[in-house]
């Protein structure tokens, strides 16, 4: 599997119990909707390791995950701190006008007048709406990801066009 086609869906934060279960912080909802038998990957030593989901149970803000290939605390400990990935093709389709964060990060951001603002580096999830962090020349600009501000997302040309509100211009 090509690394560039993999998308992180969660991060192993620590082990859980002595049988090899893991506490995983999910990135979005995709991991939490997976079922036993589905394949995930971890990146280890420049290579990929395939993991088969055995069970998944929500616990507050994390998921308790067990993999068929992990049968003890030592094996589980080796995954602590690592991201878990799935193939991009397995992501659910989104409605028109919605995007995954990995699709947006790295886009060139400019105003509707064509003024370059920088590159979208991070998406911050807040309670009401996401916030896009745009970096240029060591400075950050925080842009609310709301319909009134986000004009056009052009993935083909790598651009995000925004209409900045008063005070952000």
pLDDT one digit per residue (tens) for the chain, 169 residues: 555 689 999 999 999 988 999 999 998 888 989 999 999 999 987 789 999 999 999 998 899 999 999 989 999 999 999 999 999 888 888 888 889 888 999 999 999 999 999 999 999 888 788 999 999 988 999 999 999 999 999 999 999 999 998 776 6
For residue 111, give the H/E element and its range: strand 108-111
Query: Looking at residue 2, what is its pLDDT?
Result: 54
Q: What is the model's pLDDT at position 169?
A: 62
The reply to whether 25 and 79 lie within a common domain is: yes
72: which DSSP letter?
S
Residue 55, domain CATH: 2.40.30.60
Say yes or no: 21 and 76 in one domain: yes
Predicted local confidence at residue 126, as pLDDT: 84
Considering the entire predicted model, what is its pTM? Answer: 0.73
Instruction: Indicate whether 82 and 21 sit together in one domain.
Output: yes
Give me the pLDDT at residue 22, please.
96
Report angle CA 59, 131, 93 to the nearest 5 degrees: 65
Question: What are the structure tokens assigned to 77, written together?
Answer: 């400990």
Determine the pLDDT at residue 91: 87
Same domain for 132 and 60: no
Residue 169 lies in a domain: no
């Amino acid at each position: 599997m090509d690394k560039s086609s993999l998308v992180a869906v969660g991060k192993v934060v620590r082990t859980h119990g002595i049988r090899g279960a893991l506490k995983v912080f999910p990135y979005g909802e995709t991991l939490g909707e997976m079922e036993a038998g589905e394949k995930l990957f971890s990146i280890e030593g420049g290579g990929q390791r395939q993991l088969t989901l055995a069970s998944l149970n929500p616990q507050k803000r994390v998921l308790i995950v067990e993999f068929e290939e992990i049968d003890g605390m030592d094996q589980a400990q080796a995954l602590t701190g690592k991201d878990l990935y799935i193939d991009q093709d397995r992501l659910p389709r989104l409605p028109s006008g919605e995007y995954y964060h990995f699709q947006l990060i790295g886009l060139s951001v400019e105003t509707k007048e064509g003024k370059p603002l920088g590159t979208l580096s991070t998406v911050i999830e807040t309670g009401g709406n996401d916030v896009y962090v745009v970096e240029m020349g060591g400075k950050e600009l925080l842009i609310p990801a709301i319909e009134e501000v986000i004009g056009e997302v052009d993935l083909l040309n790598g651009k995000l066009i925004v209409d900045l509100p008063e005070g952000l211009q």
